[in-house]
Amino acid sequence: MNHHRTLISYLLFTALFSFLILVTTGCSKDENNGESSKADNTLYLFNWTYYTPESVIEAFEAEYGVNVVLDYFASNEDMFAKLKGGGSGYDVVFPSQDYAEIMIREKMVIPLDHAKLDNLRYISPLVREKATYDPDMAYAVPYYLGASGIAVMKDSLEEYPRDWSIFSDSRFRNRMSMLDDMREVMGAALAHLGYSVNSLNPDELEAATRLINEQWKPNIVKFDAEGFAKAFSSGEFSVVHGYGEAVFEEIEEERWDEVDFFLPGEGGPMYLDSMMIPVTAKHVDLAHLFINFIHRPEMYAQFLDRFRFPSTVHTEAEQYRTTEPIYSGDALAAYELKMDLGENLSLYDELWQTIRYDD
C-alpha cells in the first residue's frame, strides 16, 4: 500500500509541478507579447533550418541590442499551411518564389519600406529580372537563388553523363535516388526534353511522365527528399538528385574530393528564397532592420561561407568570402524558376500520382 501511495504522490507531484512550470513559462511568454518594452526587442523568424548562420544572428543581436527567436519549417508547404490556418506572430518568413507569389496575391504580407532597406542596391539585377512576380522587391527581398543538382560518388564509375540522362543509365540501377518532390522531378524531366519547367502543355507533360515512369523510375531505389544525403554519404546510393548543401553537410570535408556535384547542363527547375514580412508581424521596424542587415556584404558573405554557396543574388559579397563555392552558379543561367501553377496544379498532380502511387 505504501509503495502505491508514494507512486501516486509522485504522479500528482509531477502533474502539479509541471503544470506550474507550464503556467509560469506560458504567462511570462504572454507578458512578453503584451509588455511593449520587452516585446519590441524580440524578432521572431520563421525560417528553414540552419538557413541563417548563427554568427549573423549573434552579430545582429549585439549590434541592435535585441533578441532573435527562430522557429523552423521543413518545407514551403508546411510553412504556408501553418500561416494559412491562422499561425501568426512571425516577423520575417523565408518562402520560395512560388509561395512568395501566392502570399503576395493572397495579401498575406505587407509592402516593404525601401527607405529602410538601403542594402537592396546589392541585389543582382539578373535575379530581379527572374523574379517576375515582384521585380521591384515591393514585398519580397531575394535571399538565395539555387537549384537542386546531381551528386555522384566518383569511385562508382569512371564515365557517366553529366546531365539528367544519368537516371536512364542502368549501370547505376538500384543505387540512385531522386527527390520526393513533384515539381523538382517533373521539372527535371521537362527540362531534359527541352520544355519549360512550368509547362502546361498536356503532350509535354505526358512525355515527361513517360520519361520518368519508363526510363528513370526502374533505375532508382526511391524518391527521397529526407534521407538521400545520409544514404549517399554512407555509400548506399551512388547517384542522388538533391540539394548540394545537404549532401556536403553529411560528408566530412576530407572526402569532398570524392564527390562530383553538378547542375545538369540542359537546365532544370530552380528556386529563389526571399524574405517577407507577414501582415500579422508585430515588429515591422525590427524586421526591416534585419532584412537590411542580412544584405550587408560582410554579413551575406558569412552566409555564403557557411553553406559554400555560389553568390547568386548579391553583387558585392563575393569579395568578402573566405571559401570556395561547392558548385558553380554559372550553370543557373539555363535554369528556370518554378512558378506557381494555380488551378493547373491538378494537371501535374494527376500525372504525379501515376508515378508515386503505383508500384
Pick out residues in 114-143 that bind other proteins (CB under 8 A).
none
**Which of 312, 226, 317 minimizes the C-alpha distance to 274?**
312
- By CB under 8 A, the residues from 233 to 292 that bind other proteins are 233-236, 243, 245-246, 249-252
To other proteins, the closest distance from the beta carbon of 103 in angstroms equals: 9
Q: Quick one: which H or E segment has residue 209?
A: helix 202-210
Q: Is 55 in the site for other proteins (CB under 8 A)?
A: no
> Which are the contacts of 168, defined by CB distance < 8 A and separation ≥ 6?
215, 216, 219
CB count within 10 Å of CB 229 equals 23
3-state SS of 232-260 is HHCCCCCEEEECHHHHHHHCCHHHHHHEE
- By CB under 8 A, the residues from 290 to 349 that bind other proteins are 342-343, 345-346, 349
Q: Which is nearer to other proteins, 90 or 303 (CB)?
A: 90
**Binding other proteins by CB under 8 A: which of 132, 201, 323, 353?**
353
**Binding other proteins by CB under 8 A: which of 65, 86, 125, 194?**
86
What the block records as the C-alpha cell of 241 is: 538528385
**Which of 182, 150, 183 minimizes the C-alpha distance to 167?**
150
Contact mark string toward other proteins, 155..194, x via CB under 8 A: -------------------x-----x-x------------
**Binding other proteins by CB under 8 A: which of 66, 69, 157, 347?**
69
Distances (CA, A) of 66 to 39, 200, 289: 10, 47, 11
d(CA 238, CA 172): 7
| Site size for other proteins (CB under 8 A) | 87
What the block records as the C-alpha cell of 160 is: 557517366
Q: Which is nearer to other proteins, 26 or 202 (CB)?
A: 26
**Binding other proteins by CB under 8 A: which of 60, 160, 172, 223?**
223
To other proteins, the closest distance from the beta carbon of 83 in angstroms equals: 9
To other proteins, the closest distance from the beta carbon of 234 in angstroms equals: 5
